[in-house]
Amino acid sequence: MKFHSINAEIYVPDHEAEDAALARTTHIGIGAHQDDLEIMAIDGILCCKGTRDACFAGVIVTDGAGSPRAGAFKDFSDEQMVQARNKEQKRAADIGAYGAQVLLAYPSAVVKDGNEPGPVEDIEALLSAAAPEVVYTHNLMDKHDAHVAVALRVIEAIRRLPRESRPGKLYGCEVWRDLDWLPDEDKVVFDCSAYEDLQRRLLEVFQSQIAGGKRYDLAAMGRRRANATYFEPHRVDELTGAVFGVDMTALIEDDALDIAQFVSAFTAKFQSDVASRLRQ
């Protein structure tokens, strides 16, 4: 495939041809940064583990050049960080047996600029080639600007596809703002109880972040356990790990649905729930 960035690439762990690797995709994760998929799209990775009927593909939109760095990575240039993070993402694809790992290599500023056509066009082309059933991306209530930008680019790209070619489900998942505040009926609860060792290995790959001062491995696994335990106050735990998502499929079924209004409905419902509980 031809991408806008000269540094973009498709990595296929099992060395299948790129078009065939994308065509077998059933679940796809589209994240802003290297390691976002392993935090937010673990449901898709686990769903496709060990089966021939499902295949996960990952897409990282930015180049990751602006990440904080410390320790062994404190003197790394932006280019060195890009190389290190891409190497780690490919290693995660190997460990997780992804069908394909796409690195679009955009600077964050380009992704956050809604007037830049490149990210949307590349994501549209990938989704057209992969025709996934399920798409995981960032939730629109995330507090990281690049994450929200990627979610917006994903929605725009899907809306450009013919209706018959659109995925069946679009989920917004948690990274920089968790979703435990959503009313329970609005939460999508992804069961991450299985394969805890694999989940840890996928997160521990990203030493440029961990040794660089951000313990995403501990944070992500801790959040999954916390989500499972704090989900239901009146029953014993049924899960040992959970990732929360929000179903954003309505935004790709109705192109006229305003994104800000869609999000505001959730925050208004949360406000109403808190006020109602206080009155009770």
The torsion defined by the Cα of 269, 270, 273 and 277, in degrees rounded to 10, comes to -170
**Which residue is it, tokens 């009770």?**
280
Q: CB of 213 within 8 A of CB of 267?
A: no
What was the pLDDT predicted at 66? 85
Q: What is the pTM of this model?
A: 0.96
Backbone φ and ψ for 215, nearest 5 degrees, come out as: -85, 65
What was the pLDDT predicted at 71? 82
Q: All domains of the chain, ordered by start, with CATH?
A: 9-274 (3.40.50.10320)
Q: CB of 169 within 8 A of CB of 134?
A: yes
Question: What order do you get walking across the sheet with 188-191 strand by strand?
Answer: 9-11, 100-106, 56-62, 27-31, 134-138, 169-173, 242-247, 188-191
Averaged in consecutive runs of 10 residues, what is the pLDDT profile of the chain (280 residues)?
95 97 98 97 96 96 88 87 96 98 97 97 98 98 97 98 97 96 95 97 95 91 97 90 98 98 96 95
Q: CB of 198 within 8 A of CB of 50?
A: no
152: Cα within 13 Å, side-chain hemisphere:
19
What was the pLDDT predicted at 16? 97
